[in-house]
Amino acid sequence: MPLNKRIKLACQAQTLAVAAILAVQFFALHSGSARAQTPVAQGSAAQQLPAAKPLSAPAPARCVAPAELARFERPLTHTMRRLANGQSLTIVAIGSSSTAGAGASSPDATYPSRLAVELRARFPGREIAVLNRGVNGEETTNMMARFAADVLAAHPQLVLWQIGTNSVLRDHPLSPHAVQLHDGIERLKAAGADVVLIDPQFAPAVLAKSETEGMVDQIALAAKMEDVGLFQRFAVMRNWHDVQHLSFDLFV
């Protein structure tokens, strides 16, 4: 696989893995209100997650995510419960080409596959499945049409939903997308899953569109209003380019 593809895929998987781990541990150690959502017996495994091992391999030196961007503001309650109780964990990644793995050398090189490897290394002995439900070129409505068969049928505890890029690239208006996004989040939450939204890429073709910043803001607002997680991919990639001075050729 070309070096630029290896760097991009490694960066995506490593950053998302770190964010998920921090969110799980944050909830496990959180006080009062968080623990009240997860009743446990005194001394049970759910009171505190076992110490996790270091990640299996460091991300390439040229793609380090700032600590403030490699975390979630909200706990992943269903995910924590499964890990704390030693139960199997199912994660579904749904999105378009960057989820499906366009340009990856094999299915094993996609970000959901790499994420599975990192999480299993972090939580050895746990049964963790990350299902890739990405389809090239899809938009939010296309993905929602597949929710029943491709997401909900797997009964996931966590859904990673990558959205926004194709809508922006095709110059679609933002207002209808806001309604679709809230409806989609509500469906996933009603099924008992934690939800993490993944916003658009920071890439030349995306930056050339006038609605890009509006889409990023819309997704962030939806995450806040719906009380779900947000992986700030746009901000992470902007940091790589603007702060770490990486060329777009290395990660786009």
pLDDT at res. 158: 95
d(CA 169, CA 159): 24
Does residue 38 carry a pLDDT above 70?
no
- Count CB atoms within 10 A of the CB of residue 230: 21
Burial class (CB in 10 A: 0-12, 13-18, 19+), 234: buried
Nearest to 232 by CA among 242, 223, 243: 223
Flag whether 196 is in a domain.
Answer: yes
Q: What is the CATH number of the domain that holds 37?
A: 3.40.50.1110
Does 63 fall in a domain? no
Q: Is the pLDDT of residue 220 over 50?
A: yes
Most trustworthy range by pLDDT among 93-102, 119-128, 225-234: 225-234
Q: What is the pLDDT of residue 49?
A: 52
Per-residue DSSP letter, 147:
I
Confidence (pLDDT) at 31: 33
Cα–Cα distance between 97 and 116 in angstroms, integer?
18
pLDDT digits (tens, 9 = 90+) for 1-18: 666 666 666 666 666 665
User: How many distinct structural domains can be found in the chain?
Assistant: 1
Domain encompassing residue 10 = 3-42+75-251
Higher pLDDT, 110 or 39: 110
pLDDT of residue 168: 96
Whether 47 maps to a domain, the answer reads no
Q: What is the pLDDT of residue 26?
A: 47
Pick from 100, 210, 81, 94: nearest CA to 163:
94
148 within domain boundaries: yes
* 29 — pLDDT class (breaks 50, 70, 90): very low
Residue 67 lies in a domain: no
Q: Check residues 202 and 50 and name the one with the higher pLDDT.
A: 202
pLDDT greater than 60 at residue 28: no
Q: How confident is the model at residue 72 (pLDDT cuts 50, 70, 90)?
A: confident
CA–CA dist 84, 49 (Å, integer): 5
Residue 55 resides in a domain = no
For β-strands 194-198 and 229-231, DSSP reports them as parallel
Predicted pLDDT at 106 = 66
Greater confidence, 108 or 21? 108
Residue 41 burial (C-beta neighbours within 10 Å; 0-12, 13-18, 19+): exposed
Mean pLDDT on 233-245: 90
Is position 60 within any domain?
no
Going by C-alpha positions, the residue among 131, 128, 138, 124 that lies closest to residue 107 is 131
Q: Is residue 66 part of a domain?
A: no
Handedness of CA 97, 114, 66, 29 (dihedral sign): positive
Q: Is the pLDDT of residue 86 over 60?
A: yes
DSSP string, 191-207: TT-EEEEE-----HHHH
Q: How confident is the model at residue 64 (pLDDT cuts 50, 70, 90)?
A: confident
- pLDDT value of position 121: 83
Residue 58's pLDDT band (cuts 50, 70, 90): very low
* pLDDT above 70 for 80: yes
DSSP-derived secondary structure letter, 154: G
